[in-house]
Amino acid sequence: MNTIKRKLNILKKRKIDKKLDSFFGWVKGAELVELKSCNITEDPVRPELDVVFRRSYGRKIFGVKYKKYICAIMCFGFTNEIPKTVKELDLMTRDAYLKSAQRDQNIGQIAIAYTIWSKKRGGGKLIVKEVFKMVKKSNHLNRLVTLSPLTEMARNFHLNNGATELQVNEETQNFEYKI
């Protein structure tokens, strides 16, 4: 009987190891890419914002790509201040964009992540890590801040991924990933 239990435990361990190898294999092979578009109906946070909004005035869409598949998506606006609403984000990104045209073409000093979603387990955490690296390498961005909905899920996600809470607003909350 003990021999059977031992064999079952060995088989279970192999199955778990295989699953971990499969998971970490895709994580290692994934890359951050800028996207021209995304399916906004998949966005659980801000599906009302169209692709034109997401790509105008220095706003961008990034995805974590593994092979030909996009595993997670994060949308940004680049500003010089921290917005408390989507309307403020719109105004601040426009302002930073127009000011950059007169200077060095570098838009804003703060990357504001205003929506994120994952299509594959581990994708959300991975895109935060990859975006953090991108911001850190940038020659003009010095902060990575979120404009998150007032949900416990968003709060837990950002705190569990190393962010600190900056402020809780009337409609949103802001978290910062230290660069």
How many structural domains comprise the chain? 1
pTM score of the predicted model = 0.80
Angle (CA) 77 170 79, round 5°: 20
| Structural domain boundaries enclosing 76 | 30-177
Nearest to 30 by CA among 60, 73, 69: 69
Residue 132 placed within a domain = yes
The answer on pLDDT for 153 being more than 90 is: yes
Residue 25 placed within a domain = no
Pairing assessment for the beta strands 110-118 and 164-168 based on DSSP bridges:
unpaired
Are 78 and 59 in contact by the 8 Å Cβ rule? The answer is: yes
| Number of Cα atoms under 13 Å in the Cβ half of residue 123 | 18
Residue 17 placed within a domain = no
pLDDT digits (tens, 9 = 90+) for 48-86: 999 999 999 989 999 999 888 899 999 999 999 999 999
pLDDT digits (tens, 9 = 90+) for 18-56: 554 444 455 567 899 999 999 999 999 999 999 999 999
Letter string b/e over residues 126-162, b meaning 16 or more CB atoms within 10 A of that residue's CB: bbbbbbbebbeeeeebebbbbbbbeeeebbebbeeee
Residue 168 placed within a domain = yes
Q: What is the CATH number of the domain that holds 45?
A: 3.40.630.150
